[in-house]
Structure 1
Amino acid sequence: MERRPLGRSGIEVSRLGLGTMTWSTDEASIEDAAAQLQLFADAGGTLVDTADVFGQGAAEAALGQLIDRVVPRRDLHIASKAGVRTDGSDRRRDTSRIWLMRSLDATLKRLNTDYIDIWNLHVYDPDTPLEETLSTLDWAVETGRVRYIGVSNFTGWQTARAAAWQNAWPTRTALSCTQVEYSLLQRGVEREVLPACLAMELGVLAWSPLGRGVLSGKYRYGRPSDSRAASAQWSRFVTTYLDERSAGIVEAVATAADGLGVSPLEVALAWVRDQPGVASAIVGARNASQLRASLATDRLFLPPEIRLALDDVSAPDVGYPESY
């Protein structure tokens, strides 16, 4: 699998990443997780993405059980996130120094490792001074607990502000990436976030590149009983994209897939993977069979005419000032 530079940093990550959110639920057992990790590594994948809130730490703990047992630690680029509280506090977003330091210690313990390759702020916290938050990321790098830093789910101005602050003084650690939702069904980041990333030389880690599973085509004719849309836990997450506009995009993807002799999943994933600025598209799966379907995309290159057609049918609404 091809590896790509993560922004302006020296690290290169696999252009497809393995997501672990399902590892924290009943959807994937530890045996399923082990099979996924082995399959991913055998395909040349290196980037494994997790977060301290996935199953309140269960996903990190599962990954920690598998490191070295399934794949050597040195062969993986582990990315995690912090900044969201699930401890019952009224404060949902917390990137204060005390919370981040506490979160990092807990993450390293669960992962059973001495360091994280990429540590991202999960959200923007308006209640903590940005300089306090970013200085904590500097501390994490200086102490050897973290190799590279980034942000996640930031707006364009928030991304640019954080990157500019880190670049303003030589002793600060430059941001390497941002992690955002990006798919043919969610292209809002193209208005300001992606331009900011390209200008500041940040790599983009795209989460939910299959439109929360909708772009696989599984919902074209209803809601399968075993699908996320039919489950109480995940239905709200998926139904956001079960509208008329999304249905039209899904049909366009299916038409392109028929013409290329591949699956809609492969077309949708290849589109995101090769968008400007994208360093890696992160895919999740319930089992190794589902992951194998995503990994098959590595062999697919979309012809320019198909890419342009998909661009047209899924174009996001823009207005002032982006189109001024």
Structure 2
Amino acid sequence: MDQRFVGRSGLAVSRIGLGTMTWVRDTPPEEATAQLTAFADAGGTLIDTADVYADGEAERLIGRLIRDVVPRSRLVIATKSVLTPRGDVDASRRNLIRSLDASLSRLGVDEVDLWQLHAFDPRVPLEETLAAVDLAVSTGRTAYAGVCNYTGWQLAAAAVHQQCGPGRAPIVSIQAEYSLLAREIELEVLPAAEYTGVGVLAWSPLGRGVLTGKYRTGIPADSRGASPHMAEFVRPYLDERCRRIVESVVTAADGLGVTPLAVALSWVRDRPGVASAIVGARTHAQLLDILKADRLTLPREIREALDDVSAL
């Protein structure tokens, strides 16, 4: 699997990242073990997690796996802080450093490769939040820092603040939802990222699973759309506009002799500025399909047709 630099930094990651939001809660440890093994064997390096995934148990599982299954040296480990167990945001220096230290303990490491601010906190001065980032980098708790789900102005404010002071740790990445069904980041976030040299990590590149085509005739009983805690996550992408886009993806896939998953993944993976597309496979079999799909590069004509049909 190809490796790409994140923005203008020296951090190199695999162009497909492995998300762990479902680990422990929906993906049992044996399935997660199989996923990580297959991912690393395919040349994948970026594994993305967060302190709130399964209340920290996802990080704890990763810690066991990098000790017993896949050597930590083969992976780029990214985690996040800011969200609280209650679902609130707290980007205070006190909470951020405590949360990062707890993540390091659960992962069983002294340093992560990428520490990300999971959300913007309007109640805390941005300078205080970014001072915690500087402390985390300067004390060796993380090698690089990034943000998640920031708007364009929030990203620009954070990145420029860090670039304008000597010794400050740069913001190297922004993680944002990006797919054929969710192109809103093209309006402000992508221009801000390009201007500041920040790389994009695209989450939910398969449109929360809808772009695989599994929901074309209804909601499968074993899908996220049918689960009590994920149904509302999927529902926004089951409208008529999204249905038309999915049908176009299916048509393109039929013409190329590949799966809709491969078409949707290739489209977002190769968008300008995208360093990695982070996939969240629930099962080992799903991940194998994704790894196989990564071989596809879309012809220019099909890419442009999908651009048109999914345009905002």
Asked if TM exceeds 0.5, the reply is yes
Q: Distance in 2 between matches of 1:24 and 1:203?
A: 29
Counterpart AA for 2:17: G
1:180 corresponds to = 176
Q: Could you tell me which residue of structure 1 aligns to residue 53 of structure 2?
A: 54
- 1:20-169 alignment runs, 5 A limit: 20-25=20-25, 27-86=26-85, 88=86, 92-169=88-165
> How far is the alpha carbon of 1:69 from its aligned partner?
1.1
Who is 2:253 aligned against?
257
Residue type of the alignment partner of 1:270? S
Gaps of 5+ in 1: 317-324
Identity level (%): 60
Q: CA contact under 8 A between 2:259 and 2:293: conserved in structure 1?
A: no
Instruction: Tell me which residue corresponds to 1:218.
Output: 214
Amino acid in the other structure paired with 2:179: S
Q: Which amino acid aligns with 1:125?
A: D
Report the CA distance between 1:21 and its aligned residue: 0.7
Which residue of the partner structure matches residue 243 of structure 1?
239
User: What is the distance in 2 between the residues matched to 1:11 and 1:68?
Assistant: 23
Partner SS for 1:80: strand
CA distance in 2, matches of 1:22, 1:305: 35
- 1:83 CA drift (Å): 0.4
Amino acid corresponding to residue 79 of structure 1 in structure 2 = A
1:16 aligns with 2:53: no
Distance across 1 between alignment mates of 2:48 and 2:156:
23
Q: Displacement, 1:299?
A: 1.1
Q: 1:18 is aligned with what amino acid? A: L
Aligned pair count reads 312
| TM-score after normalising by structure 1 | 0.95
TM-score, with structure 2 as normaliser: 0.99
CA RMSD of superposed structures (Å): 0.8
Asked whether 1:231 is paired with 2:230, we answer: no
Q: For residue 65 of structure 2, what is the amino acid of its counterpart?
A: L
Structure 2 CA distance, aligned partners of 1:37 and 1:157?
Answer: 35
Find the counterpart in structure 2 of residue 322 from structure 1: none
Q: Which moved more, 1:305-314 or 1:67-76?
A: 67-76
Q: Which amino acid aligns with 2:270?
A: D
Q: How big is the shift at 1:230? A: 1.1
1:295 aligns with 2:307: no
- Partners of 2:265 and 2:294 within 8 A in 1: no
